[in-house]
Amino acid sequence: MIFDGADRRQWARVDMHAPLKFREVGEFNRSPVDSETRDISEGGIRFATDRFLPKDSKLVVNIDLSDIPSVKATVKVVWAVRDSHTSMYEIGVEFDTIPSETRVQLSNMVRKNLN
């Protein structure tokens, strides 16, 4: 992916490093992959992984946040960029299916951490 410099984000993001586990939707026989969030918003998250994840891939994620009980959601990959120095991928995802109560809790947490 080539970044064109335009920031199209709809949601405010906060830097936040939290444990994250993910697997592709339908991968019931595979263990989740460990990762860590880089930032989070009410609309999605950015995380790093050594796996390439194509755009529009659907994932199930579990995030352990200190302010909110474990967040479980289905997300869609919006972008993926490989870091040539580390061979890791930065992955940007948007929440696809997330309980409304959890979305409210995320929104409150992001607002609290913006200040």
Q: What is the CATH number of the domain that holds 98?
A: 2.40.10.220
Q: Is residue 7 part of a domain?
A: no
Q: Is residue 38 part of a domain?
A: yes
Q: What CA–CA distance (Å, rounded) separates 66 from 68?
A: 6
Q: Is residue 3 part of a domain?
A: no
Q: How many domains does the chain have?
A: 1
Residue range(s) defining the domain that contains residue 57: 13-114
Model confidence band, residue 87 (pLDDT cutoffs 50, 70, 90): confident
Q: Is residue 19 part of a domain?
A: yes
Q: Is residue 5 part of a domain?
A: no
Q: For residue 74, give the nearest of 55, 57, 97 by alpha carbon.
A: 97
Residue 2 has what pLDDT?
41
Instruction: Express each pLDDT in 27-85 by its tens digit.
Output: 888 899 999 999 998 899 999 999 999 999 999 999 998 778 788 999 999 999 998 89
